[in-house]
């Protein structure tokens, strides 16, 4: 009986998703191993389905359902998603769904959002849904979108935020899977695609989902003002081509975009990187009285911007911050409600005191030795915190020249680690050696902790040239699933959400679930965004992917110990004049095909923001080589 119901479910979903879509590609709906999915979306878990007629949300352009939000104090993600639900349905069907303040009667079709008495009577136990997970379930005249209500540790704040936003993610999934919307980049610059239809019905369905990674953060979360730089070192901001930016758009606003692709965080242990900062602003008398708390320079003077990590006074200083925050409720910058950070200032650790020099020598010198200094300091911190505050954690960010993990140092079970993937940022993990060594660093640190670790990875757009690396993103996240609780994706410039936006979209999706058909994502993206030019743009996107993931430049390994940037010397090895010409022909062909499609053309000009500057860069470098 269940097999027949699931087969019927898959067939009905296929009809629903195919209906009214303005693309030539069919939306495949496949059932595999208890999961069913639209081809370009992540899979969900099929559950028992009730037998009832389809739920009418809109019929012939007229609203048939209302929206009821059960949570009286919805979080920012849920507020955004409810607003998006009403707007997207309106743009898709022409009908505006009414949001009602009270649960409607059973005769009124409704989308019920969040945990309430009715959803519990319908069999959805929100208290047992995994953190940030959700269920989508239908009944007669009802679509239930319910997220987890598992409580997280208190103390989330604007500087260390965690939330269980499962209900918001239920709304996002419903919009993608049933209303057929996609958000490839911010809506204001053309990144949202919507399917037009007069009627919207939802078949009998019941499924669940939850994120593979609980931290899915991107920086800079606030976005960029326009015009913007491509490289942080650029002296001149690069203008967009005419018509690339719609009238009135003055900034690329990421806070209203990232939740649409489920960028969020429910992991309550958050790093306060490079804290405490501004140590040099401590009173001069205090610094002089406690000079041995600070790093000793080779010339015998003190670096008042950096601790000496062999110093008991430095340890006591950080612990005093714990006491002030956890016991006195006053707060300091390096302590959150759940943990205390150990993260030196944003530079190399280079203390020349006798204790540090002895520890560095015992550790083998260099990065290994400096890493040992920090490892032993962190161990002492963990022991002290565990003794006084057994419910709190110590969070450590190995970075700069102290990023290695000494295998002989063991820690109490209150250590949380965020590993910075400086030597092996994900866009350089296209090289197999980097890929494997990056995974090994994760494995080594994970073996030292009682909880999954976090990673701090880099997507910094370093070039005007266009490159994509979606398969590497997917395979990396498959490999780290279970060892890593999530990633802080460290970007910098707008190029990440223009030139490499296809890969960044895949990255956000893979952080939700790496079981993703990335080729289908790119297929669908090109057809949805670029219409008649979809095939040509897909060819260009594939060239960018093959160029990076399979390029000849990989024959010589690119490794950047202690850094995160991609060396500028790589440019001419990746983008030869012949490759640039090939890309230009495809770019020009796509623009020609988009001549009578202003929406598609705007999107294409936005995505190819850096293209003309890239061609000039190739020309300049080629002339310089002659």
Within 8 A by CB and 6+ apart from 447, the residues are: none
Q: CA–CA separation, 486 vs 217, rounded Å? A: 8
Among 295-304, 596-605, 617-626, which is the least confidently predicted range? Answer: 617-626
Q: CA–CA separation, 608 vs 571, rounded Å? A: 18
Percent of residues, the chain, with pLDDT higher than 90: 86
Q: CA–CA separation, 452 vs 446, rounded Å? A: 6
Count CB neighbours of 366 within 10 A: 11
Q: Are strands 206-209 and 55-59 parallel, antiparallel or unpaired?
A: unpaired
Q: CA–CA separation, 384 vs 315, rounded Å? A: 9
Q: CA–CA separation, 606 vs 399, rounded Å? A: 35
Q: What is the pLDDT of residue 37?
A: 67
């022409």: which residue's tokens?
94
What mean pLDDT is predicted for residues 567-571?
87
- DSSP letter at 303? E
13 — pLDDT class (breaks 50, 70, 90): very low
Q: What is the pLDDT of residue 72?
A: 87
195 — pLDDT class (breaks 50, 70, 90): very high
What stretches of 389-500 show up as alpha helix (H) in DSSP?
432-446, 470-480
Burial class (CB in 10 A: 0-12, 13-18, 19+), 277: middle
Side by side, the strands of the sheet bearing 109-113 are: 29-32, 35-38, 44-46, 206-209, 134-139, 142-147, 109-113, 65-69, 98-100
Residue 205, phi-psi category: left (phi > 0), alpha (psi -120 to 50), beta (remainder): beta
558 — pLDDT class (breaks 50, 70, 90): confident
Number of residues assigned to the chain: 626
Among 110-114, 306-310, 460-464, which is the least confidently predicted range? Answer: 460-464
The domain covering 2-210 belongs, at the CATH homologous superfamily level, to Chitobiase/beta-hexosaminidase domain 2-like (3.30.379.10)
What mean pLDDT is predicted for residues 576-583?
96
What confidence tens digit (pLDDT) does each residue in 353-400 have? 999 999 999 999 999 999 999 999 999 999 999 999 999 999 999 999
Inform me whether the pLDDT recorded for 115 exceeds 80: yes
Q: CA–CA separation, 65 vs 108, rounded Å? A: 7
Q: What is the pLDDT of residue 160?
A: 94
Inform me whether the pLDDT recorded for 77 exceeds 50: yes
Domain spans of the chain?
A: 2-210, 212-271+418-626, 272-396
Beta bridge partners of 29: 38
What mean pLDDT is predicted for residues 82-88?
98
3-class SS shares of the chain: helix, strand, coil, % to 5: 40, 15, 40
Q: CA–CA separation, 607 vs 593, rounded Å? A: 16
* Tokens encoding 522: 């790119």
- Nearest CA to 418 among 450, 391, 452? 452
What confidence tens digit (pLDDT) does each residue in 307-352 have? 999 999 999 999 999 999 999 999 999 999 999 999 999 999 999 9
Q: CA–CA separation, 493 vs 251, rounded Å? A: 13
Q: What is the pLDDT of residue 295?
A: 97
Q: CA–CA separation, 377 vs 309, rounded Å? A: 6
Q: Are strands 453-458 and 264-265 parallel, antiparallel or unpaired?
A: unpaired
Task: Tell me how far CA of residue 298 lies from CA of 284, 359, 445, 529, in angstroms.
Answer: 21, 16, 31, 58
What mean pLDDT is predicted for residues 205-212?
97
What stretches of 279-431 show up as alpha helix (H) in DSSP?
284-289, 312-322, 354-362, 366-388
- Enter the pTM of the model: 0.93
Q: What is the pLDDT of residue 31?
A: 34
- Nearest CA to 27 among 15, 45, 9? 15
- Nearest CA to 215 among 438, 499, 480, 515? 480
What mean pLDDT is predicted for residues 211-215?
98
Inform me whether the pLDDT recorded for 290 exceeds 70: yes
What mean pLDDT is predicted for residues 144-167?
96
Within 8 A by CB and 6+ apart from 412, the residues are: 379, 382, 383, 386
Q: CA–CA separation, 332 vs 326, rounded Å? A: 10
What confidence tens digit (pLDDT) does each residue in 23-67 have? 333 333 333 333 346 899 999 999 999 999 999 999 999 999 999
What mean pLDDT is predicted for residues 440-447?
96
Among 348-362, 439-453, 548-562, which is the least confidently predicted range? Answer: 548-562
User: Which string of b and e fits 200-220 if b means at least 16 CB within 10 Å?
Assistant: bbbbbbbbbbbbbbbbbbbee
Q: Are strands 134-139 and 29-32 parallel, antiparallel or unpaired?
A: unpaired
Count CB neighbours of 278 within 10 A: 11
Inform me whether the pLDDT recorded for 291 exceeds 60: yes
Q: Determine phi and psi for 189, rounding to 5 degrees.
A: -115, 30
Q: CA–CA separation, 519 vs 435, rounded Å? A: 21
Q: CA–CA separation, 533 vs 605, rounded Å? A: 13
458-462, 557-561, 595-599: range with highest mean pLDDT: 595-599
- DSSP letter at 150? P
DSSP helix/strand/coil, 607: helix
């Amino acid at each position: 009986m269940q097999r027949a119901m699931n087969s019927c479910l898959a067939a009905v979903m296929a009809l629903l998703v195919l209906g009214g879509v303005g693309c030539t590609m069919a939306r495949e709906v496949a059932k595999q191993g208890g999961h069913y999915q639209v081809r370009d979306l992540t899979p969900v878990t099929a559950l028992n389905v009730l037998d009832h007629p389809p739920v009418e949300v809109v019929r012939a352009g007229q609203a048939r359902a209302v929206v009821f939000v059960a949570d009286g104090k919805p979080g920012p993600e849920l507020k955004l998603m409810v607003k998006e639900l009403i707007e997207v349905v309106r743009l898709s069907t022409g009908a505006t769904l009414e949001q009602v303040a009270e649960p409607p009667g059973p005769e009124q079709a409704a989308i019920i959002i969040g945990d309430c008495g009715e959803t519990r009577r319908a069999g959805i136990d929100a208290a047992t849904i995994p953190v940030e997970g959700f269920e989508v379930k239908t009944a007669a005249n009802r679509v239930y979108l319910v997220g987890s209500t598992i409580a997280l540790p208190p103390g989330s704040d604007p500087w260390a935020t965690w939330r269980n936003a499962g209900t918001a993610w239920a709304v996002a999934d419903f919009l993608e899977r049933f209303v057929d919307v996609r958000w490839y980049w911010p809506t204001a610059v053309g990144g949202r695609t919507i399917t037009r239809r007069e009627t919207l019905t939802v078949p009998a369905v019941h499924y669940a989902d939850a994120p593979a990674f609980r931290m899915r953060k991107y920086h800079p979360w606030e976005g960029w003002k326009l015009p913007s730089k491509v490289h942080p070192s650029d002296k001149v901001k690069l203008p967009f081509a005419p018509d690339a930016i719609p009238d009135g758009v003055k900034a690329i606003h990421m806070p209203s975009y990232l939740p649409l692709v489920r960028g969020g965080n429910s992991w309550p242990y958050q790093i306060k990187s490079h804290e405490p900062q501004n140590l040099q602003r401590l009173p001069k008398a205090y610094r002089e009285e406690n000079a041995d708390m600070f790093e000793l320079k080779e010339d015998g003077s003190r670096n008042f911007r950096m601790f000496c990590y062999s110093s008991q006074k430095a340890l006591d200083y950080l612990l005093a911050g714990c006491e002030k925050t956890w016991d006195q409720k006053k707060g300091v910058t390096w302590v959150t409600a759940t943990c205390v950070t150990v993260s030196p200032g944003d530079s190399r650790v280079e203390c020349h005191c006798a204790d540090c020099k002895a520890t560095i020598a015992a550790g083998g010198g260099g990065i290994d030795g400096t890493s040992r200094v920090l490892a032993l300091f962190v161990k002492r911190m963990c022991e002290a915190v565990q003794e006084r505050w057994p419910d709190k954690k110590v969070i450590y960010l190995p970075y700069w020249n102290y990023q290695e993990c000494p295998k002989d140092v063991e820690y109490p079970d209150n250590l949380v680690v965020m590993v910075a993937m400086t030597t092996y940022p994900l866009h350089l993990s296209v090289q197999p050696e980097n890929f494997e060594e990056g995974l090994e660093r994760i494995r080594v640190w994970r073996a030292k902790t009682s909880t999954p670790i976090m990673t701090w990875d880099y997507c910094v757009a370093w070039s005007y040239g266009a490159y994509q690396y979606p398969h590497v993103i997917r395979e990396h996240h498959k490999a780290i699933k279970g060892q890593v609780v999530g990633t802080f994706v460290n970007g910098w410039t707008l190029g990440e959400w223009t030139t490499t936006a296809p890969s960044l979209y895949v990255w956000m999706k893979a952080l939700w679930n790496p079981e993703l058909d990335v080729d289908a994502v790119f297929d669908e993206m090109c057809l949805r965004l670029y219409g008649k030019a979809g095939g040509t743009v897909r060819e260009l996107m594939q060239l960018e992917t093959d160029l990076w993931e399979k390029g000849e430049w990989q024959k010589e390994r690119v490794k950047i110990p202690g850094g995160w940037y991609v060396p500028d010397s790589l440019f001419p090895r990746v983008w030869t004049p012949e490759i640039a010409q090939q890309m230009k022909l495809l770019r020009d062909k796509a623009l020609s095909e988009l001549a009578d499609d202003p929406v598609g053309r705007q999107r294409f000009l936005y995505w190819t923001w850096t293209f003309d500057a890239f061609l000039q860069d190739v020309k300049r470098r080629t002339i310089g080589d002659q």
